[in-house]
Structure formats: C-alpha cells, structure tokens
Chains A and B, each alone.
Chain A
C-alpha cells in the first residue's frame, strides 16, 4: 500500500525535479558565473572532488556582474519594455477581434456551435511555424496583399509591412486568437439568456443590456483570455524572428541571439532569470482571476 503510493508519487515527482527544477537551478547558477573561452564557456565550474573548500571557492566566485551588465546596456531593458508593449498592444487587438467572434459564436444556432468551436480550435492543432510562415508570403513587398491592393488600384507603390512591428502584431494576433476566443466563448455560452431578457424587461435597451449585463458577466473570461495571450507573447521568439525586423526588439529573440550568436551563456541565463521575474506578476494576477472565477461559479 505504502510502496505503491510512493512509486506513484515518486516517479513523476522525480522526473520533474530532475528535468524541470534542477535545470532551472543550473540557469540560476550560470547567470551568476562569468563568460570564459572554455568548454563549457563559463567560469567557475564546480569540482565536487575538491571537497568543502572547492564549494566555498566556487561560491565566492559567483556574483551579480551579469545582472549589472544588463542594466548598463540599453538593449536589454529596451527589449524588456518593448516585449511588454508589444504583448499589451497585441492583447488589446486580439480582444477587439476575439470578443465579437466569441459573442457571435455564443449567439449562433445551437447545432452550429460545435462546428464553429472546431473551426477555432483547428488552427491551434496546426503547426505554429507554418501559420506564422503563411504571413511571410502575404506581407512581403511582392506578396499577395500588395499584389491585391495594387491590382485594385488602392496603392501605387507596395507597402513595407514584413520585417516591421506591424507584421509582428498581425502574426501574434493571428496565432494567439484562439486563446482569446475560447475562454470568452465559454463564459458567454453559459450566460443565461433570461438575464438579458430580464434587463430589457426592466427598461434596458439592447445596447445598455449588453453593457450592463453581458460585459460584466463575461469579465472573468475576458481577463483569462487577455492573460492567455499576454503571458506567452512576452517570451515569444518565432514571430519576431520571422516577421519582425532588426528594430523589433523582443526579449525572447535577445535571449536566443545571446545564446546562439554571441555564445554568452551567463548573460543569456541572466536574461532568462529577469524574464521569469517579469512574468511572475501577470501569472499571479491570472491565477487570482481563475480563483475568483471558480468562487463565483460556486
């Protein structure tokens, strides 16, 4: 009885400790080390065989130099700020597009809803990379969008969209839209139609019933949707790398380049640590929203 319980808990626990928590500790450790021309390319390295003295030497050589470096170079804090800004704006855009869609789905005929739902989920199962890639062909100067616009004579010269922040916004909204729609749809779909009728019966117009009843009651879904877009976008790498230009700064891209191009592992690790610290706040807010929603439903 005891042994079985121990195995059941132990196996996934051990797996996550070894492949999630310990790696994370290593990132923390390396972020406090210095870059070196060696394999692995950082110093100090811990040699357990040296005993207690070696551990003490090792610890004394760790410092916050990399974090200090991050504050001295404009690039990093600009990248953090720009990631937050891009995430916030694209969350807003996704909400503007996603809410009417979720609303339309919730008001659609009951037998259509599963199909509409499937249409929203289908892109999610399709390769992320391919969906981003699809926009490269559309947005480039000789792409389908420019061909179309010039063809009908709206513009004379092709628009430069690819490799700008606009392309990044489009890409983000496109790939993360299902994450916005689904939680909003879930709350709207559960919304009791008689509440709207009661509001109208009590003298609301259709529009004021929408603002006074539907919107407040879909609050939790909207907040959940916003965080589900905002949080992953902050650390996004593929979209800015593929659709953005050299001026589009995002922290995920900076980390990638620090690691693969500059091979500066300690700085890359420090960037990762700061990125996590940036994420903690929205994650805590998100959890609190989920908690409140559960309480409200009871």
Chain B
C-alpha cells in the first residue's frame, strides 16, 4: 500500500502549477483584444488573423518546416545506423572515438556547436542557408536518435535476428523484416525527437543560417527581444496546441495498446 499524503498532493499541485500557469496565461492572453498584452480588453481572435497575414512569419514557418523534415529524416537514418554500430558492430578501430562523438554533442553547449559548424561552413566556402541548417541539425539530432534507438536495441533479443537468418533471411532481410519492425517505436520516437529539436532550435540555427533562410525561432527571437507581442502569443498558442495534441494522442494510443495487450493476454 502506497501512502499518499497531503504533503505529496501539495508538492504536486505547486509543481504542476509552476510548470503550467505561465503557458496557460500565454494562451489566455493570446485571445486578448488589446495591443497592450498585459491589459485584458475582451475576447478576440484578431491576433491570429494578423499572424496569418504576416508574410515574414509564414516564410519563416515554411523554412523551419522544410529544415525539420529533411534534418529529422536524415538524422533518423544516420542515428539508427550509428545505434546499430554502437550496439552490434562489436570492436572496430576507433570505436571509442565513435561513441565519444555520439555522446559529446548531447552535452555540448549549443553556442559551441553552432560556432564550430559556422566556422566549418565558412572555411568550406558554403553559402549559409537551408542546406547548412539541415546539416547542422542533422548532426546534433542524429546523436539523440542514436541514444534512443540504441537503448531499445540493447534490450532487443538478438536471437530474433539469428532466428531470421536461420530461417533463410539474408542479413539485410533480417534487419528489414524483423529488427526494424520490432524497434520501430524507438525509431519513431527518435524521429519525433529530432523533428522537435529542429523546430525548436534557436542558437545553432542563428549561427548556421544566412539572410536567405530565417527560421521561425530566429524570427520569434528578434521580435521578443523587443518585448511581449500579441502576435507571438498567438503563435505560441498554436505551437503549444500542436505539441499538446501530439503528445496526448501519442500517450492515449500507447495506453490503449497496453490495455489491448492486457485484454489479449487474459483471454
């Protein structure tokens, strides 16, 4: 019997209030009529209208989406390969360096990653734009993908692959028909993580983007440095709604899947 006291209830209430109140306020005030964001002047959705008429924001959103899609797909492929190498390839020359390069970007301050990539692109004479941001985002998010996927691979029963070989698969078929379907949930969450990291990134994108490609976080950054604006509140609300819908539906799906499994195993 677990004990749940008033102390626990209070700390959870305070904690979650701290986590959620700021976002709640942001959402509420995005529907504020007034231009002065801190004064409530009645309900309105006009800032959403303003937002969708703002070409600069729409352009930035388009750039961000393109960058996120390309970099997350690349990062998923590379990260899954890297995870496979880490867990399965055994010993090879330079393995320590390899795993170091996988884990280092996770703790590397973004300012350093951004700076170093920028200096690389300049010395290569590469024009900064969508391509350079995609390269930069792929590099750091592939490391996150490989950590997520290698955790799943490590607990993956290797005899499943051996069974596939034993039943006549080539090694590639064994990966495609057995390993990949089994680790798919981890690959998908790695991909989602890479996608979100790319959507979210300000610092690395600031270093590696050029005048031709402004991402949404860069655009948001330059306007909030000037203070609170109702358009940004509206934009934030939309982003929060997207994330909340995604996360809640994902957890509902996994909960239903777990319940289904329970039911199945009882019959």
Q: Tell me, yes or no, whether A and B come into direct contact in the complex with CB atoms closer than 8 A.
A: yes
Q: Mark A109-130, 1 if CB is under 8 A from B, else 0.
A: 1100011101111110111111
Residues of chain B contacted by A237 (CB below 8 angstroms)? 109-111, 203
Interchain CB contact under 8 A, A22 and B120: yes
Shortest Cβ distance from B88 into A: residue: A8
Q: Mark B90-115, 1 if CB is under 8 A from A, else 0.
A: 00101001100110110111111001
* Least CB distance, A101 to chain B, in whole angstroms: 4
Instruction: Give the most central of B89, B139, B172: most A CB within 10 Å.
Output: B139
- In chain A, positions 49-106 with a C-beta closer than 8 Å to chain B are 97-98, 100-101, 103-105
Given contacts A12-B142, A174-B22, A275-B109, contact A27 B217 (CB under 8 A): no
For the complex, is A281 an interface residue (Cβ under 8 Å from B)? no
Interchain CB contact under 8 A, A126 and B239: yes
Interchain CB contact under 8 A, B119 and A23: yes
Measured in the bound complex, the distance between the Cα atoms of B96 and A17 in whole Å is 13
Interchain CB contact under 8 A, A177 and B19: yes
Shortest Cβ distance from B136 into A: residue: A19
Interchain CB contact under 8 A, A97 and B101: no
Interchain CB contact under 8 A, B116 and A27: yes
Interface size class on chain B is: 35 or more
Q: Mark B246-262, 1 if CB is under 8 A from A, else 0.
A: 11100100010000000
Residues of chain A contacted by B169 (CB below 8 angstroms)? none
Interchain CB contact under 8 A, B247 and A121: yes
Shortest Cβ distance from A28 into B: residue: B116
Measured in the bound complex, the distance between the Cα atoms of B79 and A269 in whole Å is 28
Interchain CB contact under 8 A, B16 and A127: no
Instruction: Give the most central of A9, A12, A19, A177: most B CB within 10 Å.
Output: A12
Q: Which of A8, A16, A26, A234 contacts B84, CB < 8 Å?
A: A8
Shortest Cβ distance from A268 into B: residue: B115
For the complex, is A107 an interface residue (Cβ under 8 Å from B)? yes
Residues of chain A contacted by B115 (CB below 8 angstroms)? 27, 255, 259, 268-269, 272
* Least CB distance, A228 to chain B, in whole angstroms: 9
For the complex, is B243 an interface residue (Cβ under 8 Å from A)? yes
Measured in the bound complex, the distance between the Cα atoms of B142 and A61 in whole Å is 37
For the complex, is B161 an interface residue (Cβ under 8 Å from A)? no
A sample of 16 cross-chain residue pairs with beta-carbon separation below 8 angstroms, ordered by A number, consists of A12-B85, A20-B104, A23-B120, A26-B120, A104-B15, A125-B196, A125-B243, A127-B199, A129-B221, A133-B220, A133-B236, A138-B25, A235-B109, A237-B203, A255-B111, A256-B111
What 9 A-B pairs have minimum CB-CB distances, sorted nearest first?
Answer: A235-B109, A100-B11, A23-B116, A104-B8, A134-B22, A101-B15, A23-B120, A12-B82, A16-B101
Please list the residues of chain A having a beta carbon within 8 angstroms of any beta carbon in chain B: 4-5, 8-9, 11-13, 15-17, 19-24, 26-27, 30, 40, 97-98, 100-101, 103-105, 107-110, 114-116, 118-123, 125-131, 133-138, 140, 142-144, 147, 174, 177, 193, 231-232, 234-238, 242, 252, 255-256, 259, 265, 268-269, 272, 275-276, 279, 283, 286
